[in-house]
Amino acid sequence: MDITNSTVFIPGATSGIGLALAQRLQAAGSTVVIGGRRQALLDSLAAEHGFGAVQIDVADAASIAAAAATVLDAYPSLDALITMSGIMRNEDLRSSDHMADAIETIQTNLVGTIRLIDAFLPHLLTRPAATVMTVTSGLAFVPLTATPTYNATKAAVHSYTQSLRQQLVGSPVEVLELAPPAVMTDLMGGADFGGMPLDAFADEVIELVASGTDTEILVENVQPLRFAERNGNHQQILEMMAGAGH
């Protein structure tokens, strides 16, 4: 991905990791369009940072279709999609009361990602070079006990991304996967996970993307989770995170 000359759509970029990456991509020279559900916030960020802005709810198929039409009409040179949108909820699996949260998480994190790719991929395949970047999590590889459906959706997106990459071999579309560690954002109401400072994370991500050396974007902090199975300490890390109440 050429971070200096891309036209990028990032649904889920009104705060946190998405907003931090949007700012850095724009500073590097790319044209950035952010997406989110709250029009007033989109308008404010567009005015402050000079982003393009499109309203979108990735849990709603009609909203995705409408947003895609709007983005592609206004930005026919679009050549990158970053599927940033996601939600994370605590769930107690001993009670069926968690089911509404589970369904909403799947609809947003997994189905939303698939629908976004479906909406933009036909256009991206017409570009000389293009990028789809999915966003998973270190928790796709070692789950956080308190957020089981979130973990499962991120593991599913990881697998889906691998299939997508393989199907697109020989096409102009590169498929990247960003797998963040715990990062200090407002996810889950800004709960303190002892996460990585947002600016440090975003800076490291941009360096990795610019280097173009790997299809998985893995900052140093996430590597213990990503490679826990290989390293033989998966169960130890799982129990440690659960015991810490994270």
Domain ranges of the chain: 7-243
Pairing of β 130-135 and β 173-178: parallel
- β-bridge mates for residue 10, sequence order: 34
C-alpha distances (whole Å) from 32 to each of 55, 75, 84, 194, 210 are: 14, 10, 13, 30, 16
pLDDT recorded at residue 130: 98
pLDDT recorded at residue 195: 86
pLDDT recorded at residue 65: 98
Q: pTM (2 decimals)? A: 0.94
What's the rounded Cα separation, in Å, for the pair 210 and 2?
A: 7
Homologous superfamily (CATH) for 7-243: NAD(P)-binding Rossmann-like Domain (3.40.50.720)
Which pLDDT tens digits describe the chain residue by residue (246 residues)?
999 999 999 999 999 999 999 999 999 999 999 999 999 999 999 999 999 999 999 999 999 999 999 999 999 999 999 999 999 999 999 999 999 999 999 999 999 999 999 999 999 999 999 999 999 999 999 999 999 999 999 999 999 999 999 999 999 999 999 999 999 877 655 555 678 999 999 999 999 999 998 999 999 999 999 999 999 999 999 999 998 654
pLDDT recorded at residue 246: 43
Residues with Cβ within 8 Å of 227's Cβ and at least 6 positions away in sequence, in order, are: 141
Pairing of β 7-11 and β 80-83: parallel
Q: Which residues are catalytic?
A: 150
135: enclosing H helix or E strand: strand 130-135
